[in-house]
A and B are shown apart, each in its own frame.
Chain A
Amino acid sequence: AQSVAQPEDQVNVAEGNPLTVKCTYSVSGNPYLFWYVQYPNRGLQFLLKYITGDNLVKGSYGFEAEFNKSQTSFHLKKPSALVSDSALYFCAVRFNGYNTDKLIFGTGTRLQVFP
């Protein structure tokens, strides 16, 4: 079965410092991995995806993620955090087949960036 795990409920970081939000996955076959961000009372916004190719994926708002096959991880990173990055972050794996297509989400990690 496909699944993702986000081991941290909350991550706190000072503005200007690098941030990492962790995600590990369990899939059969090739993993198709996504990061989404959710601001209060808003839907999910797409940040980036890994389908194939380079292990370092660059996305929106200066975020990037590193795909590590041996550690089955897809951690989200940003070199310098902003207060406005404070939000709820979801890692997801895509499962698609003959008669289905779905994202399976982690439980989310709340990122708090302090000024």
Chain B
Amino acid sequence: GAGVSQSPRYKVAKRGQDVALRCDPISGHVSLFWYQQALGQGPEFLTYFQNEAQLDKSGLPSDRFFAERPEGSVSTLKIQRTQQEDSAVYLCASSLKGGQGRTNTEAFFGQGTRLTVV
């Protein structure tokens, strides 16, 4: 596709339920990022992949959050035993290159998945 695609666009989960959010990056993009955006806030970094390698997961708020990108393309962000504080928009982004020394490529964002935990 032409851009980063995320699904579902909206997800309502009951507290305690597991959810999986999908991201299809732009074809050929090496780097993939997940961000969490709470209402009225700027996006906060969650995790970074370079191809299939998860190089930085320092932003994941708890061990209930897990991300994977097994074939270096599509990525899934999984949240186990969802809590109300997990309610946010989850944004995925990709860029052609990334990592040390590669600063001149911008990240392109998907439309996000709005997760509401009730």
B41 and A108 form a contact (CB under 8 A): yes
Q: Considering the chains assembled together, what is the distance between the CA atoms of A83 and B117 in angstroms?
A: 35
A102 and B91 form a contact (CB under 8 A): no
Q: Which residue of A lies closest to B50 (CB)?
A: A101
B99 and A101 form a contact (CB under 8 A): yes
Q: Which residue of A lies closest to B46 (CB)?
A: A102
- Which of A49, A51, A90, A98 contacts B42, CB < 8 Å? A90
Chain A interface size range: 20 to 34
Q: Which residue of A lies closest to B107 (CB)?
A: A103
- Chain A nearest CB from B12 CB (Å) reads 16
A101 and B48 form a contact (CB under 8 A): yes
Determine the chain B residues whose CB is within 8 A of the CB of A100 once the complex forms.
48, 55-56, 58
B59 part of interface (Cβ distance < 8 Å): yes
Q: Considering the chains assembled together, what is the distance between the CA atoms of A3 and B31 in angstroms?
A: 22
Q: How many residues on B have C-beta within 8 angstroms of the other chain's C-beta atoms? A: 32
B42 and A94 form a contact (CB under 8 A): no
Mask, B88-108, CB within 8 Å of A = 1, is 000101000011111110111
B43 and A96 form a contact (CB under 8 A): no
A103 and B45 form a contact (CB under 8 A): yes
Determine the chain B residues whose CB is within 8 A of the CB of A92 once the complex forms.
42
Since A96-B100, A97-B100, A105-B44 are in contact, a sample of 13 more A-B pairs with Cβ atoms closer than 8 Å, ordered by chain A residue number, is: A36-B109, A42-B111, A43-B4, A44-B43, A46-B109, A51-B104, A94-B103, A98-B99, A100-B58, A101-B99, A103-B43, A103-B107, A108-B42
* Interface, chain B (partner A; CB < 8 A): 4, 6, 31, 33, 35, 41-45, 48, 50, 55-56, 58-59, 91, 93, 98-104, 106-112
Q: List 27 A-B contacts (CB under 8 A).
A: A36-B109, A42-B111, A43-B91, A43-B112, A44-B43, A46-B106, A46-B107, A49-B106, A90-B42, A94-B103, A96-B98, A96-B99, A96-B100, A96-B103, A99-B55, A99-B56, A101-B50, A101-B98, A101-B99, A101-B102, A102-B59, A103-B43, A103-B107, A104-B45, A105-B42, A107-B42, A108-B42
